[in-house]
A and B are shown apart, each in its own frame.
Chain A
Amino acid sequence: MQLIECPWCGPREEVEFHYGGQAHVPYPDAPAEVSDEEWAHYVFFRDNTKGRFAERWCHSAGCRRWFNAIRDTATYRFESVHRLDAPQPHATELARSRRSTAP
């Protein structure tokens, strides 16, 4: 049973958390103006990274706050967790995540 560090509540067992998939995939500003293909990428496509990955988690059985994390998908180790109101580090990963959802 892995421990996940909630930025508010501290380490808790993983069963208290809900996985939210890849982080930093923003809702398009004007969905009506994007092409079908761009929209499909937003809806259906996510990275499948081996290694460090920026993703979203929610402490659903605790404070119910969403947060971002950098996790290694090969080892499951969390490198860091970030409150949504905190500056998000690892700009490169995040930029890459964001780019990758574009067609």
Chain B
Amino acid sequence: MTSPFRTAEGGRIDRATTLEFTFDGQTHTGHPGDTLASALLAAGRHQIATSIKLGRPRGIAAAWAEDPGGLVQIEEPFPEPMLLATTVELHDGLVAHGLPGQGRLAEISDSARYDAVHHHVDVLVVGAGPAGLAAALTAARSGARVALVDDQSEAGGSLLAGTDRLDGAPAPEWVAAAVAELAGHPEVLHLQRTTAFGSYDDGFVLALERRTDHLGTAAPKHVSRQRVWRLRARSVVVATGAHERPVVFSDNDRPGTMLAGAARTFLHRYGVLPGREAVVFTTNDSAYDAALDLHRAGVRVQAVVDARPVGSPRREECERAGIRVLSGAVVTGTQGVERVTHALVARFADGEVGAGSAIACDLLLVSGGWNPAVHLFSQARGRLRYDEVLGAFLPAEELEGLSVTGAAAGVFDLAGCLADGQRVARAALTALAVRPPGEDRLPTAPEPVTPAAPLVLWRVPDTSGAGGHTSFVDLQRDATVADIERAVGAGLRSIEHIKRYTTIGTAHDQGKTSGVLTSGITAELLGIPVQATGTTTFRPPYTPVAFAALAGRDRGRLFDPERVTSLHDWHVAAGAVFEDVGQWKRPRFYPRPGEGMEAAVLRECVAARTGVGILDGSTLGKIDVQGPDAAVLLDRLYTNMISSLKVGSVRYGVMCGVDGMVIDDGTVLRLAEDRFLLLTTTGGAAKVLDWMEEWAQTEWPDLRVHCTSVTEQWNTFPVVGPRSRDVIGAVFPQVDVANEAFPFMTWRDTTLDGVPVRLARISFSGELAFEVYVNPWYGVAVWERLLGAGRPCGITPYGTETMHVLRAEKGYPIIGQDTDGTVTPHDLGMAWAVSKKKPDFVGKRSFARQANQDPLRKQLVGLLPVDRRTVLPEGSQIVELHPDGQLPPPPVPMLGHVTSSYRSAELARPFALALVKGGRSRIGDTVHVPVDGTLVPVEVTGSVLVDPEGARRDG
């Protein structure tokens, strides 16, 4: 329960509050402001887990998202795998344990909320370090709309992790003032705990805000846990800083080995000493700050091991403090088991390792230089160039609408970062024609000290005898220098291939520390410039994003819109079982108590064929077509003649694509000389309207015709069955419903209590039927009026399943079920619906193509299982036996497949529709359908199985 490595004071933690948490079953304490990693380090714990392949101990090696070592699984408050201890903010009651590279998804569903928000700005600044804050202030002061996002819990970036002073005061004071100023600008959105994880076209940046993770169990339930910000910026300023790069040496994965800058962060930001005795191994000046800061905090710095032969001007500073500096020396390896006990230090000159010795330490800090975080720039297709001095890749070009500043652009001194941030923001504003602010003061930073040139050193030659097998490049993948050597030895040259061969950079951290190292080591092994090797492609997301966050609110009921008709509540109350038809919820059948689907459908079918049934057909697509040339357009798009249709009449029509294949069918009501109402299939409504618009707008703009969707403008209730005339006659006494007065395929307008109603004699069942059209405002009332009038005849509401049985018994195809985009009207036996008089219509020319004349094309036929019992599964294949009754040898030729299959009350047996090669010439034949391992004999019939004479439609 103690925190022996917590400093006595300092750090940006709230020492007055103590938080309790459990890691690997042990209880520890920490403070608000801690991460799980800093609290564990305060307890003296470096090792987090073991590695994925080799089972080697691994610990905290960095202080933020670039850490390759500290993967944890959260158990409480909610199970979540594969998080970094360095990025998990501590909260009371946190329960976690270390992960050997693989986690476990929660077995219970995540009850947290996730959402997304669109936000538009003039300038988006990513990163609230010195450069980003300077840029955001400049942009905000201009009055522009600004967003500033930063992935840490508080703004400041590197200023939180050092001893910098601005305007003569500790830098965090300036940070606080800057944040306060930004808060005062109404058009500024400032988000912390928000990681910009992807930059895309046209200034589109996705950022993940962790809104309540840090609150633990205190997180309010009605606030989203995480939010995806969909930021659209006219200009993006990338101020994402840099990642420190390690140097590879033997046993460089031992817990206690850490990036030098991370140790400074743990000290200054979290008030934690990452060890008692440190060795600092560096190739550049930046690690001297870590050595000196740790020394001042009471850590015994055993040595600074500087690979550069001359060392640094900061050597004296160290020596004054009593820190030994070994120039021209390297760390070749470590000793210890679960924690570093010694660093092996050796002379190093001209790439050769000399004699060495072991220095005792419990902390080995490493710095191999800094890699600018160019991810967002690179994702936006910005080219990178290799900088020989820094040993790092930098933006190589200016992108329109996206600029990079600060350490991300290779500017590493504080004054330079502030000035560069301001410069970039002013340039961005100017490009947007926004006047940059007049008053735009930068804080005074100390004069920068020019650092000595760094040495670019990717790896220390392995003198351990392990042959590079313990020199880890990617700790998360347990991938080593030896793996890269093997890849190069196998002939791989491309860095992309080497990545996939070695798996380097494919783990959780996506190569934040290993990527550039791999480029460097590969170049070295191939003897080519690093520029020629390049980097692997930077792809979003920059850090892992949970699928739940990406799904946002599009889950559960909101996953896919449910479209309903105005009758929906009635259907629900009537106990309907629904089916999805596109996005529509349609009643499939209305079971009575104790009834299954089969019984209900048989009952509903009997009602419609012998009495009267009623269907909510309101989901049918409806298109109002108007204009002097309306008939011309329809003649060109339907296979049959529409212009000859009389006002007051209805015609069935088929539409084909230019390839001659059926795309939709339906009925056409001629409302006036210049006006038609088209009924399309439920699923085809939008497609047909788009199809008509496409032709009308792009091909025949001279036609004076307008199409308007009226799908929701009309309820459509087919009243079906021999008693339907009684029902319609009772509800609409003013309408003469006699067959002579109101013949098949005509429509009449009438009113019901003053409400306009349209009646049409259209039948999708073969029975006498009337479709009732009414404004859905009155839909429920009219429906109930029809039910009331039909009660004496036992009117039965029926659903889509019965509708399907009734239409299939009549051989009416469902486009998209009995057709699949390869079926012509002729294949459906609908040559009668193809005009021979019209010189042309869309699809006509294709009918003449040889392939469409083939007598062996698949044609729609009926199938009757000989056993009168089997309901053939839809989609079943159809095969033909040899004359001797044997199945042909594999591959068995397929004649076609079952497209619709039902049990028929009328026929007292199951039946099916099928597309069968040369089907119409096979009528009367017996073919076979494999069902559950047996071959079911079926008789091929015509597609019309009920009332082929059409005697019933007039009642």
Contact = CB atoms under 8 A, between A and B. Distances in A.
A1 B694 contact: no
A98 to B, nearest CB: 14
A2 B202 contact: yes
Given A1-B204, A1-B230, A58-B690, A32 B697 contact: no
Contact of A31 (B693, B701, B840): B840
A3 B658 contact: no
B200 interface: yes
Contacts of B740: none
B698 A84 contact: yes
B884 to A, nearest CB: 41
A101 to B, nearest CB: 12
Contacts of A10: none
Given A18-B690, A31-B840, A60-B690, A3 B846 contact: no
Given A34-B845, A58-B690, A84 B697 contact: yes
Contacts of A43: 658-659, 846
Interface in B829-855: 839-840, 844-846, 848-850
B200 A64 contact: no
Contacts of B201: 1-3, 76
Nearest to A31: B845
Interface in B841-881: 844-846, 848-850
Interface string B636-676: 00000000000000000000001100000000000000000
A35 to B, nearest CB: 10
A66 interface: yes
A65 interface: yes
Report the interface size class on chain A.
20 to 34
B699 interface: yes
Greatest chain A CB density within 10 A among B693, B845, B850 is at: B845
A42 B204 CA distance: 38
B690 to A, nearest CB: 7
Interface string A38-66: 01101110000000000010101000111
B121 to A, nearest CB: 15
Majority secondary structure of chain B interface residues (helix, strand, loop or mixed): helix
A28 B849 CA distance: 16
A89 interface: no
Contacts, number: 57
A40 B701 CA distance: 25
A66 B202 contact: no
B693 A64 contact: yes
B846 A66 contact: no
Contacts of B844: 31-32
Greatest chain B CB density within 10 A among A2, A26, A66 is at A66
A64 B699 CA distance: 15
Given A3-B202, A66-B693, A32 B840 contact: yes
Nearest to A64: B693
A29 to B, nearest CB: 10
Interface string B689-712: 010011001110100000000000
Contacts of B846: 39, 43
A26 B202 CA distance: 33
A66 B698 contact: yes
A32 B845 contact: yes
A26 B699 contact: yes
B690 A42 contact: no
Nearest to A30: B840
A20 B201 CA distance: 21
A90 B701 CA distance: 21
Contacts of A27: 658, 699
Interface residues of B, number: 22
Contacts of A40: 849
Contacts of A84: 697-698, 701
Contacts of B200: 1-2
Interface string A58-84: 101000111000000000100000001
A58 B698 CA distance: 10
A86 B848 CA distance: 36
A71 to B, nearest CB: 12
A68 to B, nearest CB: 9
A34 to B, nearest CB: 7
B343 to A, nearest CB: 50
Could you say which of B230, B840, B844 has the most chain A C-beta atoms within 10 Å of its C-beta? B840
A102 to B, nearest CB: 16
A64 B242 CA distance: 47
B697 A66 contact: yes
A69 to B, nearest CB: 13
Given A18-B690, A64-B693, A32 B839 contact: yes
A32 B844 CA distance: 8
Contacts of A30: 840
A66 to B, nearest CB: 5
Nearest to B841: A31
A42 B660 CA distance: 13
- Greatest chain B CB density within 10 A among A11, A26, A64 is at A64
A31 to B, nearest CB: 4
A66 B845 contact: no
B701 A36 contact: no
A1 B204 CA distance: 6
B845 A39 contact: yes
A43 B850 CA distance: 15
Given A1-B204, A3-B202, A58 B694 contact: yes
A40 B697 CA distance: 23
B447 to A, nearest CB: 45
B835 to A, nearest CB: 13
A20 B694 contact: yes
A1 B845 CA distance: 40
A76 B200 CA distance: 12
A92 B840 CA distance: 31
A26 to B, nearest CB: 7
Contacts of A58: 690, 693-694
Nearest to A4: B202
A94 B690 CA distance: 24
Contacts of A2: 200-202, 204
B202 A42 contact: no
A10 B701 CA distance: 22
A41 to B, nearest CB: 12
A30 B839 CA distance: 9
A66 B850 CA distance: 34
A85 B701 contact: yes
A85 B698 CA distance: 10
Contact of B694 (A28, A66, A85): A66
Contacts of B659: 43-44
Contacts of A32: 839-840, 844-845
A11 B850 CA distance: 46
A78 B701 CA distance: 25
A20 B204 CA distance: 25
A67 to B, nearest CB: 9
A45 to B, nearest CB: 12
Contacts of B230: 1
Given A1-B201, A31-B844, A36 B850 contact: yes
A79 to B, nearest CB: 14
Contacts of B839: 32
B379 to A, nearest CB: 13
Contacts of B658: 27, 42-43
Contacts of A44: 659
Given A28-B845, A84-B698, 4 more contacts: A2-B201, A3-B204, A43-B659, A84-B701
25 contacts: A1-B200, A1-B230, A2-B204, A20-B694, A26-B699, A27-B658, A31-B844, A31-B845, A32-B839, A32-B840, A36-B848, A39-B849, A42-B658, A43-B658, A43-B659, A43-B846, A44-B659, A58-B690, A58-B693, A64-B693, A66-B694, A66-B698, A84-B697, A84-B698, A85-B701
Interface of B: 200-202, 204, 230, 658-659, 690, 693-694, 697-699, 701, 839-840, 844-846, 848-850
Which 5 A-B pairs rank lowest in CB-CB distance, beginning with the nearest?
A31-B845, A2-B201, A3-B202, A66-B697, A1-B204
